[in-house]
Copies of this chain bind each other. A is one copy, B any other.
Amino acid sequence: MKSATTTVTIAASERYAYLDLTEDLERAIKDAGVTDGAVIAFCEHTTCALLINEWEDGALADFRRRVTGMIPDADVYYEHDDFAIRTQNMHEDERANGHAHVKAMLLSATSHAIPVVAGAPGLGTWQRLIFFEMDEPKDRRITFHVFGS
């Protein structure tokens, strides 16, 4: 039984940008030397998400449009952004990102568990591991835990 935990640090170009992390996932498995087992992909943040879907610009644009329509980033009251009443977890660069917290909880896409088969992630033909930034872009840490034989 082998196991390894590695982290990549990424940053999207802008709010609502996507990044394809499939090659990072593949590299984590290769580096761990695991042929058969599984890998956990984990996002260490509260206003972005990890999706598994097709990388096709139209589908990704469709998702962005529908999610921001359901949970708007403007013209809606978010108590998280009401700095007149909020007291918890205030820090220097606090931003109005209540919408992104709501989106992240709605998606609940912080972690995925993926089988490892023949030394590669057992993804289907069209599946890619995709990072979705929903807040102002900044450095984000994605952790992979690979285990197996």
Contact = CB atoms under 8 A, between A and B. Distances in A.
B106 A63 contact: yes
Size class of the A contact interface (CB-based, 8 Å): 35 or more
Given A63-B102, A101-B54, A102-B63, A108 B49 contact: yes
B71 A101 contact: no
Given A49-B108, A51-B105, A63-B101, A56 B42 contact: no
A46 interface: yes
A123 B61 contact: no
Interface of A: 1, 3, 5, 36-38, 40, 42-46, 49, 51-59, 61-63, 66-67, 70-71, 78-82, 85-86, 88-89, 98, 101-102, 104-117, 122-127, 141, 143, 145, 147-149
A127 B110 CA distance: 10
